[in-house]
Amino acid sequence: MLYILAFLIPMAAGILAATVPAKSDARRRGYYIAVLLLSDLCAVGAMLQGGTAVICSFSDTVRLSFSMDGFGRLCQCVVLFLYTVVCFYAFEYMKKEEQPNRFFAFYFVSMGAMNAVCMADNLVTLYFCFELATLSTVPLVLHELSRDAIAAGLKYLFYSIGGALLGLFAIFFVYEYAAGAPTFVLGGSLDKVALAGHEPVFLAAMFVGIIGFGTKAGMYPMHGWLPAAHPIAPAPASALLSGIIAKAGVIAVIRLVYYSVGAEVLAGTWVQTAWMILALITIFMGSMMAYKEKIIKKRLAYSTVSQISYIMLSLSFLSVEGLTGGMLHVMAHAAAKGCLFLVAGIFIYKWDIRQVADLKGIGQKMPVTLWCFMISALSLVGIPPMGGFTSKWVIAETAVTSGIPVFQFLAPAVLLLSALLTAGYLFPIVIDGFFPGHGAEVKAQKKDEASAWMLVPLILLSAAGLYVGLFGHALVCHVFGL
């Protein structure tokens, strides 16, 4: 029952709370805090509960069911943490936006959908939850209902649904060659005898599935929705889209490759080679586009294209070490990019600044905000002891020790080049913010930080990035039994 409540409660309570009239912002905020705490408690209860909850069965092998393994719990922790801290930030940010009730309604609906993605017990259930996550987050993108917002929302919708259909194509083949009911088991559940002789078409289907679910993760050539949707969405929505919602594609790829097919089935095939090539292209392309971009939120959006493909590259090595590096970067990137988008939102909220060039001297007015930006930037670049350093070290080490010709050297080289580009598009913001030079104009000499509703989430996300760097590797190794 707790599995069901973990996604139904935030969906139903969020919609009900959004429709309840409130005489003041404080009353409305109280409603949302109650919904948030109730949703968190139900999700934590589901994480602690064992067993499997079967909703319905369509056949002996196809059913909607939920359960929790170590990987699902780890993803669930990231979802709960990010949704909780961003919600408190949104209380203040959405005061300047129209229709905050509508925003929070879909905020909690999407939270329930992401909970369901983490708890899915098989590929069919995951597919339904994946689509639900897409449909519930489209309104967050087009919240402003401007022409640009509607165009970005539709682009996100079409890309995501198209990618999911490609993923569904792969799911058909997994169920065709599965040994019994294909529930998620590390190592996969394929019937190797039934698969014999059908390997070429099966490999093609798996590649289509990786591309399809990789669409949500912004992997080339299906990355176009991400730089369109992130900049136009409200800052809290951008933080969620980049920090965890786009990673629904990563979760789906992991469940397909590692928990349904089995990594050894794809290891050494053309699928692995093509996957690596696309991931490397995306890493370099995203970093270069971010380096050239002048609008702060769009720069961070292109950065997300690059950084999530670090995860895809790590997964493409088809080893437990690659899975470990990928999950480390899931956590490190969620903390860092969530913080960076929230900082960008403060720049917009307080000063209506959207261009990087206008941020000169901002550290004199908002030192705490820019310090949080700097800490998260250090993690994204990969400076120890931050989480981004730990994850990228594991990914590079996995590449070097993989023994895969060319890629064991090419992958670390591209990672290093991307890190330099990341430093090139993030560090100048910090340097110019704290040391603008004598010729720079500063609108206000006195400090003028945002409220605690907005600052505390930044501090918590910065601290989370440090925690991942210090303790994340041990945590992930425990989850995967290393």
Summarised one tens digit per residue, pLDDT across range 402-418 is: 889 999 999 999 999 99
Q: What pLDDT was estimated at residue 3?
A: 82
* Cβ neighbours of residue 153 closer than 8 Å, sequence gap 6 or more: 138, 139, 141, 142, 229
How far apart are alpha carbons 217 and 247 in whole angstroms?
6
Q: What's the confidence (pLDDT) of residue 482?
A: 59
Rounded Cα–Cα distance for residues 360 and 433 (Å): 5
pLDDT tens digits, 126-154? 999 999 999 999 999 988 888 888 998 89
Segment 378-401 mean pLDDT: 94
> Which tokens is 122 given?
């098989």
| pLDDT interval class at 481 (50, 70, 90) | low
pLDDT at 479: 79
Assign 400 a pLDDT band (cuts: 50, 70, 90): very high
Residues 170-195, mean pLDDT to the nearest whole number: 87
**For 161, how many CA atoms within 13 A lie in the half-sphere containing its CB?**
11
* Interval 348-376: pLDDT, tens: 998 888 899 889 989 888 999 999 999 99
Q: How confident is the model at residue 221 (pLDDT cuts 50, 70, 90)?
A: confident
pLDDT at 444: 47
pLDDT at position 23: 63
Average pLDDT of the chain to the nearest whole number: 90
User: Hey, how many other C-beta atoms are within 10 angstroms of the C-beta on 123?
Assistant: 28
